[in-house]
Amino acid sequence: MANAGEPTAPPPASVPSPSSAFDAELQRTAFQKKGVSRLPAKEVLDLAIAFFGERGYRAGRTGRPNQLFVMGKAEGILPRVTGEVSARADVGKPGVTLVTMDAAGERLGPAMAEFARMLRARRRPADAPAPATDDAVG
d(CA 47, CA 113): 14
Segment 96-110 shows an average pLDDT of 95
Q: Beta strands 81-88 and 67-72: pairing type?
A: antiparallel
DSSP string, 40-104: -HHHHHHHHHHHHHHTT-EEEE-SSTTEEEEEES-BTTBS-EEEEEEEESSSSSTT-EEEEEEEE
Q: DSSP state, 118?
A: H
pLDDT at 129 over 90: no
pLDDT at 137 over 50: no
Contact 30, 104 (CB under 8 A): yes
Q: Which is more confident, 53 or 22?
A: 53
Class of domain 32-121: alpha beta
Q: Tell how far CA 26 is from the center of its chain.
A: 12
pLDDT at 113 over 80: yes
Q: What is the pTM of this model?
A: 0.74
Domain boundaries, the chain: 32-121
DSSP string, 5-44: TSPPPPPPPPPPPHHHHHHHHHHHHEEEEEEEESS-HHHH
Q: Which is more confident, 14 or 93?
A: 93
Contact 97, 44 (CB under 8 A): yes
Contact 86, 108 (CB under 8 A): no
pLDDT at 21 over 50: yes
Q: Beta strands 30-37 and 58-61: pairing type?
A: unpaired
